[in-house]
């Protein structure tokens, strides 16, 4: 499965101000550093959880439709915006939304053929199927508080450890952040 980010989140999970308060930093010159640490910490937390936190749009591509459910990465799934495919003649087609069912409550989210329908045949070419979808909890205010706290802990770790550290002295994610993120880790993988 190929993935392309179509639209990045409109705001970070935690604001510069929230990060500065957490770090007890009042140095204006550190703003750019802190913003970059928030981005890095968010990316680390999202990778750990296999989720996306703030609303964003992605395109998933596949060489063909699956035999069963089409699993979309980066839960929570908010919506499927379009399902397109190359038919057997190589002509781009857009599936009618009535021909498939979106199951956002599944983790990861699923798209399945509607009752009495099946996935259409596709041309045997790379990326014959494309699914544009929106994922994330919503705005930063909608992101679970435990996730925000974990991101701030990661920001604090990156802020305090700006130099290279021996791998034996540091783990990938601090224990408290891992504990906070644990309930949000996706255990079922999208193909």
* pLDDT value of residue 148: 98
- What mean pLDDT is predicted for residues 178-184? 92
Q: Taking each helix axis as running N to C, give the angle between helix 145-160 and helix 16-23, from 0 to 180 degrees, rounded to the nearest 10.
A: 60
16-23 vs 31-49: helix crossing angle, rounded to 10? 100
Domains in the chain, please, with CATH?
2-53+139-184 (1.10.3230.30), 56-135 (no CATH)
Query: CA separation (Å) from 102 to 25, 55, 98, 172?
Result: 45, 17, 10, 35
Question: Other CB atoms closer than 10 Å to residue 117's CB: what's the count?
Answer: 14
Which pTM was predicted?
A: 0.88
pLDDT tens-digit map of 101-158: 999 999 999 999 999 999 999 999 999 999 999 999 999 999 999 999 999 999 999 9
Residues 55, 136 contacting (CB under 8 angstroms):
yes
DSSP-derived pairing of the beta strands 110-113 and 100-103: antiparallel
H/E stretch holding 13 reads none
Q: How far apart are CA 53 and CA 85, in angstroms?
A: 28
Q: Are strands 92-94 and 70-71 parallel, antiparallel or unpaired?
A: unpaired
Task: Round to whole Å and give the CA distance between 160 and 29.
Answer: 16
Mean pLDDT, rounded, for 60-69: 96
Residue 1 pLDDT level (bands cut at 50, 70, 90): confident
- From 21-35, 76-90, 98-112, 168-182, the region with the lowest mean pLDDT: 168-182
**Residues contacting residue 143 through CB under 8 Å, at least 6 positions apart:** 13, 53, 54, 137
Residue 100 host element (H or E): strand 100-103
């Amino acid at each position: 499965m190929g993935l392309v980010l179509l639209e990045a989140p409109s705001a970070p999970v935690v604001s510069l101000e929230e990060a500065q308060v957490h770090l007890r930093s009042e140095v204006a010159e550190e703003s750019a550093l802190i913003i970059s640490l928030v981005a890095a910490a968010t990316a680390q937390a999202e990778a750990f959880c296999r989720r996306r936190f703030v609303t964003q749009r992605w395109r998933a591509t596949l060489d063909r439709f699956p035999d069963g459910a089409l699993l979309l990465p980066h839960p929570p799934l908010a919506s499927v915006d379009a399902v397109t495919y190359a038919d057997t003649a190589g002509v781009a087609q857009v599936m009618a939304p009535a021909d498939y069912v979106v199951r956002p409550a599944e983790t990861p989210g699923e798209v399945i053929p509607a009752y009495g329908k099946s996935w259409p045949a596709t041309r045997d070419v790379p990326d014959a199927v494309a699914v544009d979808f929106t994922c994330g909890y919503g705005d930063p205010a909608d992101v679970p508080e435990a996730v925000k706290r974990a991101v701030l802990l990661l920001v604090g770790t990156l802020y305090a450890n700006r130099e290279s550290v021996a791998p034996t002295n540091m783990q990938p994610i601090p224990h408290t952040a891992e504990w906070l993120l644990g309930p949000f880790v996706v255990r079922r993988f999208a193909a």
